[in-house]
Amino acid sequence: MCATCGCGDDAAAVITVPHEHPHEHDHEHPHVHGHGPGEHVHVPITKTITLEQKVLAKNDLLAGRLRKRLRDNDILTLNLTSSPGAGKTTLLERTIRELGAEPIAVIEGDQETLLDAERIKATGCRVVQVNTGAGCHLDAEMMRHALDALNPAPGSLLFVENVGNLVCPALFDLGEHAKVVVISVTEGTDKPLKYPHMFAAAGLVLVNKIDLLPYVEFDLDRCRKYAESVNPGIEIIPLSATTGAGVNRWYDWLSEQKSGSVQRP
């Protein structure tokens, strides 16, 4: 298991570009059990912490190289994170179709299947799928292989749809310009308090499925306050990927990032 997040050691693969899961592995807990009856071997917690630091340092080094590569090619890269079912893929489908003049490419991250990649492909957008196996997030090594396979054109808008998870993707830099967190009104108002590291790392929060507000208990103002308590000044855009309500503000935000932020050092 990965010491950083506890994800499994199954091989990850970019479809058509298979590769090994790049994590260094160890048990997530500060102890392991031996094979004999009642045998219990303690591993110093400092060993786990040191391994975690090495994994993240290695990831950050590669992510820095990827960031330079993306900036040199004027590619605005956004890392979309959420819990499963928040509506990332539906939002991407609508965004791609309504921003048809933009050169857009997508990297899809899932543990298994090509289902989301097939949905994106149906829009006419170039896409590559990364299957992480038991892994619960994308990392910089997977991102590098995906970029090599996808080879997005200079000036592209590149979306990375991360594995559905609001924990580990907060720790792993992919060389992106910003993380965009997608939550839905069906998930509960207190998401920013439950997953503060993700919301602290976010450049934008999208509150999706607002068309369902009359039918669920969700307090948008309170959710905004919770998000701002862990990330002061964070922008929050309520929208519905299904009906299109609020999506123009999302498109404006994308335009602002594209025009003014790609070249920042």
Q: Is residue 206 part of a domain?
A: yes
Burial class (CB in 10 A: 0-12, 13-18, 19+), 149: middle
Q: How many domains does the chain have?
A: 1
**DSSP labels for 59-111?**
HHHHHHHHHHHHHHTT-EEEEEEESTTSSHHHHHHHHHHHTTTS-EEEEEEES
Read off the pLDDT of residues 60-103 as tens digits, 9 standing for 90 and up.
999 999 999 999 999 999 999 999 999 999 999 999 999 987 89
Could you read off the pLDDT of 100-147 as tens digits, one per residue?
Answer: 878 999 999 988 888 999 999 999 999 999 988 767 889 999 999 999
At how many degrees (to 10) do helices 88-98 and 247-260 cross? 70
Look at residue 265 in the predicted model and tell me its pLDDT.
Answer: 38
When pLDDT is cut at 50, 70 and 90, the band that residue 35 belongs to is very low
- Domain assignment of residue 22, yes or no: no
The answer to whether 156 touches 126, Cβ cutoff 8 Å, is no
What is the CATH classification number for the domain harbouring 94? 3.40.50.300
Q: What pLDDT is stored for residue 39 in this prediction?
A: 46
Q: Establish if 243 belongs to a structural domain.
A: yes
Domain-located, residue 65: yes
Q: Are 130 and 12 in contact (CB under 8 A)?
A: yes
Instruction: State the residue range of the domain holding 234.
Output: 50-262
Look-up of token digits 């031996």: 34
Distance between CA 103 and CA 89 in Å, rounded?
18
Instruction: Say which DSSP state 134 is in.
Output: T
Helix and strand totals (H; E) in the chain: 8, 11
- Three-state SS at 256: helix
Evaluate whether residue 9 is within a structural domain: no
For a pLDDT cut of 70, what percent of the chain falls above it?
78
pTM attached to this predicted model: 0.81
Is there a domain that residue 16 lies in? no
Q: Is residue 13 very low, low, confident or very high in pLDDT (cuts 50, 70, 90)?
A: low
pLDDT score of 38 more than 60: no
Q: How far apart are CA 59 and CA 87, in angstroms?
A: 28
Residue 221 lies in a domain: yes
How long is the chain? 265
Question: Do 151 and 105 touch, CB atoms closer than 8 A?
Answer: no
- The per-residue pLDDT for range 162-193, each reduced to its tens digit, is 999 999 999 999 999 999 999 999 999 999 99
16 exposed, middle or buried (CB, 10 Å; 0-12, 13-18, 19+)? exposed
pLDDT at 224 over 80: yes
More confident residue, 252 or 6: 252
What are the residues facing 81 on neighbouring strands? 181
CA-CA distance, 31 to 68, in Å (whole number)?
39
CA-wise closest residue to 141 among 133, 152, 150, 130: 130
Instruction: Give residue 135's pLDDT.
Output: 72
In a domain, residue 72? The reply is yes
Q: Summarize the confidence of residues 27-55 as an average pLDDT.
A: 50
Look at residue 167 and give its three-state secondary structure. coil
Using an 8 Å Cβ cutoff, are 120 and 150 in contact?
A: no
What is the average pLDDT score of the chain?
85
